[in-house]
Amino acid sequence: MQQEKTYYITTPIYYPSDNLHIGHAYTTVAADCMARFKRMQGYDVFYLTGTDEHGQKIEKAAQEKGMGVINYVDGIVSNIRKLWDKMLISNNDFIRTTEKRHEDVVQKIFQKVYDQGDIFISEYQGWYCTPCETFFIERQLVDGKCPDCGRDVELLKEESYFFNMAKYAPSLLEHIEKHPEFIQPESRRNEVINFIKNGLDDLCVSRTTFKWGIPVPFNDNHVVYVWFDALINYLSAIGYLDDEEKYHKYWPADVHLMAKDILRFHAIIWPIMLMAIGVPLPKQVFAHGWIMLEGGKMSKSKGNVVDPMVLVEKYGVDAVRYYLVKELSFGQDGFYSEEMLVNRINSDLANDLGNLISRTAAMIKRYFNGKIPAAGIHEPIDEEIKDAAFMAYQEATEKLDKLDFSGYIIAVLKLVSRVNKYIDETEPWLLARSDNHKERLAAVMYNLAESIRITLVLFAPTMPTLAEKANQQISIFDEPNNLKWEDAGKWGLCRVGSTVGKGQPLFPRIDIKSLDEVNGKKEENIKTNDKPVKAVDKEHISIEEFARLDLKVAEVIGCEKMKKADKLLILRLRVGEEERTVVSGIAQHYTPEELIGEKVVLVANLKPTKLRGVLSEGMILAASDETNVEVLFVKEVAPGNKVS
Ligand code: MSP
């Protein structure tokens, strides 16, 4: 029987010393994107995350709050779980290092390494950074501070157990050289090689000056060093020394994902621990960059952390996940600002993707009674769309396999933009004018629906609710929550004859009063809809005054975007026998295709005025709040009739 393909991916287990921020969310969402991608490819995926609950840092955090340590971490862990639920993280397990299943394995491994003589007792004298839980010798400090985080270090002098890492350094170097994919990206690999070549000191693996840790099995005065304890989670969670079948099914892990700050622990200490116990090494250790804020790295002590829960509540889970996955270029650092997040939502998601879907749905509704037509008459330009779709599939697959998350998003965006261009090139609204072009129009609509199907499959690992929501507008999938990756590589799977509906806008545009202000006072300046509104805010007028307005029903017979003006549409209206041109500032809320054929209310006796060189002869009525603009449509009454 063929063995099932498995894929085991991990995030670091986070310190529950405080609630997590978007930096932690980045790693977890990126790993989730990989897990979903592999599941869509048919792998049996094991996605692990969790919390690293021992050590001095956690003990201090609880003491500062005047709480018992386990009570304190229970509260934070519960918040972390809620956060991952909210962010639709699809982890298969959540390991806490205070669980017995983990503690038992740590003690057994410590005992084994001690018994074989790789751990020995001596005295530690040196410096310790509690926030990083890391030992340093004098010459490693920078201006007397922690070389990693710049904070104060404390002098330790205590009896400790040591792990002889140098013994395994040559084998590790050999492994790294033989397996170029083991440490990625490449630049980080070189850093690690240099570090090992400079010589590895014995690692202090126990502490005696505090109690919050796993006791060393043969000496109660010592607790196991928190990193020695934490790294073992990757084995204990899959049943090492307990559930042989599960362990052999998933180990070696396919990838340990983390930021560069903790690469050394994963690329040096962890492999050496594994070598010491005779366990094969993980296939890959991948270090991404940091999400930075303008003032530098995010940290609680600087008070500049960004709460992902708040962002998800404000902008929706798909949009926040999309932003995170796109934000860090392969291996590089990136900057976060709410302004950039909003810009991405507006440009990539509302303008490009959302509009593509709603325009296509509106056209299928208008031209084919809302049913996706069969493929009709083919033209050479259609090949370009097919090729673009296949290229997006290939490139997205390749980039994801390399954990190049932003590269993957860019590959899919290229398709979205090519398809938007296809609409402009094929001009369906012109084809719709004559029945002779009906078959060609059908082909264009089919190709659009098909490209959208492929786009939605490709975006599914990042935006897990997108396909289902889009399906309400343009019903392409039988099972939008059960998509197969390989279907994005095929052309022609779209459901012909299935109906399109209105659905909710997928990504409503977010209006920002002033981008500068947003940087200063984020929360208040992103407009929301919940301000109280008064019923009347102008002076009374008489019925005669109202009667001076000449309001007429008008049919939109043509519509196009004003060149070089994001917000303006030029509408051609039929009002009875007469035709009028009206310039309207609704381009960010309606596409020309959504308006052509609709009947609107025209203020017919408004004084004509030139807008960007076009004479606007009147104005159409629309209702608006701070985010939405809705044109008032008339259903049955014919153009030219009065509105009063
Ligand atoms: N507990 C250890 C990990 C043990 S793993 C066996 C730890 N925890 S942590 O809470 O400090 O998490 C560090 C990790 O959180 C980083 O490696 C990274 O994955 C993520 N990030 C934290 N801040 C981040 C950014 N500003 N940007 C990107 N990732 C960040 O270290």
Cα of 171 to ligand 1 centre, how many Å?
A: 28
Higher pLDDT, 1 or 46: 46
| Residue 524: pLDDT over 50 | no
Secondary structure (3-state) at 383: helix
pLDDT at site 527? 39
pLDDT of residue 75: 96
Q: Which atom of ligand 1 is nearest to the CA of 257?
A: 19
Model confidence pTM above 0.75: yes
CA 230 to ligand 1: nearest atom:
6
12 C-beta closer than 6 A to ligand 1? yes
Range with the poorest average pLDDT among 231-235, 316-320, 621-625: 621-625
Give residue 278 CA to ligand 1 midpoint distance, Å.
27
Confirm or reject: Cβ of 428 under 6 Å from ligand 1.
no
CB 81 within 8 A of CB 110: no
- Report residue 149's pLDDT band, with 50, 70 and 90 as the boundaries: confident
Alpha-carbon gap, residue 239 to 389, rounded angstroms: 42
Ligand 1 binding pocket includes 13 (Cβ within 6 Å)? yes
CA dist list (Å): 236 to 13, 98, 243? 13, 12, 10
Report the pLDDT averaged over residues 121-125: 91
Distance 95 CA to ligand 1 centre (A): 16
Whose C-alpha lies nearest to ligand 1, atom 23?
Answer: 23
290 Cβ inside 6 Å of ligand 1: yes
Buried b (16+ CB within 10 A) or exposed e, 285-312: bbbbbbbebeeeebbeeeeebbebbebb
Atom of ligand 1 nearest to the CA of 270: 6
Q: Mapping DSSP to helix (H, G, I), strand (E, B) and coil, where does residue 416 land?
A: helix
What pLDDT was estimated at residue 515? 44
**Average pLDDT of span 377-383:** 93
Q: Tell the residue nearest (CA) to atom 15 of ligand 1.
A: 24
**Does the beta carbon of 259 lie inside 6 Å of ligand 1?**
yes
Distance CA(247)–CA(103), nearest Å, equals 17
Choice from 56, 188, 228, 261 to test ligand 1 binding pocket (greatest atom count within 8 A of CB): 261
322 CB under 6 A from ligand 1? no
User: Which of the pair, 405 or 523, is modelled with greater confidence?
Assistant: 405
The pLDDT of residue 521 is: 47
For the CA of 328, the nearest atom of ligand 1: 28
pLDDT band at 1 (very low <50, low <70, confident <90, very high): very low
DSSP percent split of the chain into helix, strand, coil, nearest 5: 45, 20, 35
CA dist., res. 185 & res. 288, Å (int): 8
Residue 328 in contact with ligand 1 by CB distance below 6 A:
no
pLDDT category of residue 625 using cuts at 50, 70 and 90? low
Ligand 1 centre distance from Cα of residue 259 (Å):
6
What is the position in ligand 1's atom list of the atom closest to the CA of 259? 17
**Per-residue confidence (pLDDT) for residue 627, from 0 to 100:** 58
The reply to whether ligand 1 has any atom less than 6 angstroms from the CB of 261 is: yes
Rounded to the nearest whole angstrom, what is the distance from the C-alpha of residue 141 to the centroid of ligand 1?
A: 21
Residue with CA at minimum distance from ligand 1 atom 18 = 259
Residue 23 C-alpha to ligand 1 middle, in angstroms?
7
Rounded to 5°, angle at Cα 229 from 226 and 233? 130
Rounded Cα–Cα distance for residues 483 and 466 (Å): 12
CA–CA dist 313, 318 (Å, integer): 11
298 ligand 1 Cβ < 6 A: yes
